[in-house]
Structure 1
């Protein structure tokens, strides 16, 4: 359970559900997750193949629901290979495993309507508001994360950026919640009054927009996010796809090369400035 400075009261939660409440469905999902992990560990000879397949699958610019369906097909294949004749099921399922990435790539290339993210860009805030994008780079091996935070005005100009490391981080969701708090702190310390916090972490954004008490493992961090509303005249949280959050994503990855906290005012590391300039050029073309 991550620790927060907001000092929330203790509560009993079920960490396998986003709402923190136990249900038969969430219990089934937990058991299915354990089963999937055992499958991967038990098939050491196929681990490299699975990793390559997953890497190619998640990198495709297609709707997430298609990726999830194909992932289930892969898991089903390896589950059956453990309990029945490997050769028999390999013959049955070898076609989808061999051709899955090729077919999905072909679909994406021939039907651009399936790839809306390719046509989406960062959108500047209205009037005098400041948009602060955040993202996190998480290392499961070292239990660390690096937050990338970038604040830009309605002209697309960088106002402030920062990279913040965190230690003893248990999950990617917690890493994203820390990054959201870092975005709020940067906006507060910079003296911005009207702020839009934007990121591609849908769970964190939804919890930030929900005024009801949270009972998930993010409970303490969500309460801290809500408590920081008092520092701003106007504060909104917005979810965007990864392509609209490219600068913050790049900054989070760059943060791994910086020891400790790093902040820049009206400037950024060269690679980040170049990425932000691409967004600004697109904004200028629309005006």
Structure 2
């Protein structure tokens, strides 16, 4: 009986570990660690535990179709051409966290639950009715009107004026018109279509004499579970001396892909004998993590630790952030890895897929 109880406790423990933690492994002999999966930093919070458990419950109840519907709803919501404050209002309403009388009563606040306008039905039903009345053809206008009705309701609750319905329509129309006018003005100031590649690419800066610079990047195909890595190594004159395009089949987000790309770049540079190297990537999170001293308890932890271990083998190294505009060649090689697959290395020559890009990135160099 006692053994059965111990076994049951162990099974429960393993179930909890699998549900809430990720096991992060190392390629270079560091101890495997268990990482809290609820946050990107690995820090435990009650909020993150709540969201993990909520997601697990939804999937266990067979609500995958509902999850798909909600994902479509959120995509539609965030793409609306209305002010961000209106989007947040609708998001709060969909989650039923607006301070309606119904919600306040549930929190123990004693008040009359009836609608402040009609005084007959509970206020929650009125809010739901507003959303039912929103027609797909005029969603932008209707959600803005809904928010203005909420403002009107708050004004009455707090002893303010009872706005005329025409005032609600007028303010909503003005708000939508001003917002869309600002969007059109912003679009007109953006880069026109057909702009040449060289005008979009920022100038790449060469390393000092005696050093090599390696740019890395990652690309991801989440549907197929393919991560692509790209690396291009140049000398002081901007000439490509080596390049790498690599792909692996593994599930992970873009931050994991960027960290793995940095790891493969460091391995590649070490194997090719580049002892004094400057590494550049366009992921500030990964760059800061590599340069940070101390344990990293995020899901990148052991990858970063492997990178730091390898960097000790170099005579000189430096890891820097660079904007995407100076990292186009590495990004193109990463995309090539996703599309073509496999592991390809170029030594002393430029890959065909980045010949034009390389000339554009290094166009400011004077020889």
Question: What TM-score results when the alignment is normalised by the length of structure 1?
Answer: 0.75
**Higher RCO by CA contacts (8 Å cutoff, separation 6 or greater):** 1
Structure number, greater radius of gyration: 2
Provide the C-alpha distance between the structure 2 equivalents of 1:240 and 1:151, rounded to a whole number of angstroms.
15
Task: Give the equivalent residue in structure 1 for 2:281.
Answer: 199
**2:90 is aligned with 1:77:** yes
Matched, 1:238 2:320: yes
Cα-to-partner distance string for 1:142-193 (whole Å, 9 max, x where unaligned)? 2220101111112211111111111223222111111001110111111111
Corresponding position of 2:143 = 92
Aligned-residue offset at 1:22: 1.7
Question: SS at 1:134's partner residue?
Answer: strand
Residues 86 and 148 of structure 1: CA distance in aligned 2, closer, same or farther (over 3 Å): farther
Q: Does the Cα contact within 8 Å between 2:232 and 2:244 map onto a contact in 1? A: yes
Query: Is contact 2:216–2:229 with CA below 8 Å preserved after alignment?
Result: yes
Structure 2 counterpart SS, 1:243: helix
Summarize the Cα distance change of 1:202–1:79 in structure 2 as closer, same or farther, 3 Å threshold: same
Aligned-partner Cα distance in 2 for 1:268–1:13 = 40
Greater mean alpha carbon deviation, residues 99-108 or residues 236-245 = 99-108
Shift of 1:81: 5.3
With over 3 angstroms needed to count, the CA separation of the structure-2 counterparts of 1:268 and 1:7, relative to structure 1, is same
1:141 maps to 223
Match of 1:13 in 2: 35
Contact 2:243 2:351 in 1 (8 A): no
Q: Are 1:276 and 2:358 counterparts?
A: yes
Count residues with an aligned counterpart. Answer: 265
Distance, in Å, in 2 between the alignment partners of 1:207 and 1:136 is 16
Alignment of 1:219-258 (within 5 A): 219-258=301-340
CA distance in 2, matches of 1:98, 1:130: 53
Which residue of 1 is the match for residue 159 of structure 2? none
- Map Cα deviations across residues 90-127 of structure 1 (whole Å, 9 max, x no partner): 41338889997874463375499xxxx96843222122
Runs of at least 5 residues in structure 2 that lack an aligned partner in the other structure: 1-22, 59-63, 97-127, 146-172, 192-198
Aligned to 1:64: none
Deviation at residue 259 of structure 1 after TM alignment: 3.6
C-alpha RMSD of matched pairs (Å): 4.0
Choose which of 244, 251, 254 in structure 2 pairs with 1:162: 244
1:107 aligns with 2:186: yes
Shift of 1:222: 0.9
Residues 216, 330 of structure 2: 8 Å contact kept = yes
Distance in 2 (CA, whole Å) between partners of 1:32 and 1:101 is: 37
Contact 2:226/2:248 (CA < 8 Å) preserved in 1?
yes
Answer whether contact 2:215 2:280 (CA < 8 A) is retained. Answer: yes
